[in-house]
Amino acid sequence: MSSMQTLRCLVLALALAAPAAALAQAQADDAKTPLPASSNSQTGDRPGVDRASVLRLIFRANPMLWPLLACSIVTLGYVLERFYALSRERVVPTEFVDRFLDRLSSGKLDRERALELCRAHESPAARIFALVVNAWGQSGSSLRTLVSHDAAAEIVELKRNLRVLSATATLGPLLGLLGTVVGIIQAFDALGGRVGPSRGEVLAQGISLALVATAFGLGVAVVSVVFYYFFLNKVDILVRELDDRTRKVIDLVSAESQRMAAAERRGSV
């Protein structure tokens, strides 16, 4: 199993395990946390949400926070995965590219040796260089056409999993809004037969807890959108660099370059 697959399995496991862990923690908090004093007591405290038990209350009161929590874990996992996958040394490794171009320009590599060197490295740059070397000796225009078609798969691979961040950016606010609606419904339902000032206190507490879902969903969306465009920009930068390096390889192995090199060798003799 590759490191990418291992990372995805870990993200999925965390997304599935987090709700159970949070529920267990909430149940433990229930056992430890004393009941809050009544708002009608003579202590004079202002009514409001008990800050020490907010997490326990919102997860018990609003079930839509569980998918939001899972959504946030998936977002974090794919952000870390894309940081790893789109690192420059994994896409356009400097040492390999510089050595390959240097040996190719100095005439130390023929077609077979260049292919062996490309196959020894697992990177998009090496795979695209191998496409060019396989067509060694063709015209420059033919090589550029070949690369423009066959290298498209590598660009798609670089953009892989960015759709997940786009999806979480859309789902986050929707789940948050749904959670708020569910929370408000529960808040009004909890009023029941209450009378007097306690009705307002219960309603205010229920609405405040319901709005947590919207804040949570918007937070997930903001993080997803920021990293989605950050990684799109990073892909564009890497593709431009790949294109620049590939053009240099094409110039060195094209038929025009080979004829020029042969003429220089004859002239030197």
Q: Spell 121-146 as b/e; 16+ CB within 10 A means b.
A: bebbbbbbbbbbbbbbebeeeebeeb
Residue 33 domain-assigned (yes or no): no
175 and 129 inside one domain: no
pLDDT in tens, 158-172: 888 899 999 999 999
98 and 223 inside one domain: no
Could you give phi then psi for residue 89, rounded to 5 degrees?
Answer: -70, -15
Residue 267 domain-assigned (yes or no): no
Q: Are 236 and 92 in contact (CB under 8 A)?
A: no
117 and 146 inside one domain: yes
Give the relative orientation of helices 94-105 and 124-134 as an angle to the nearest 10 degrees. Answer: 20
75 and 118 inside one domain: no
pLDDT in tens, 73-120: 999 999 999 999 999 899 999 999 999 999 888 888 888 888 998 888
Residue 238 domain-assigned (yes or no): yes
129 and 229 inside one domain: no
Top mean-pLDDT range of 8-22, 99-113, 177-191: 99-113
Tell me how many domains the chain contains: 2
96 and 148 inside one domain: yes
Percentage of the chain beyond pLDDT 70 is: 69
139 and 179 inside one domain: no
Whether the predicted model's global pTM rises above the 0.75 cut: no
pLDDT in tens, 200-211: 777 787 787 788
End-of-domain residue from the set 157, 180, 209: 157
63 and 14 inside one domain: yes
Residue 147 domain-assigned (yes or no): yes
Residue 258 domain-assigned (yes or no): no
94 and 150 inside one domain: yes
C-alpha angle 162-247-104 in degrees, rounded to nearest 5? 115
pLDDT in tens, 44-59: 444 444 555 555 555 5
Residue 40 domain-assigned (yes or no): no
128 and 7 inside one domain: no
Rounded to whole angstroms, the Cα distance separating 80 from 75 reads: 9
74 and 194 inside one domain: yes
170 and 82 inside one domain: yes
Question: Range of 13's domain?
Answer: 3-23+52-88+161-245
SS3 state at 1: coil
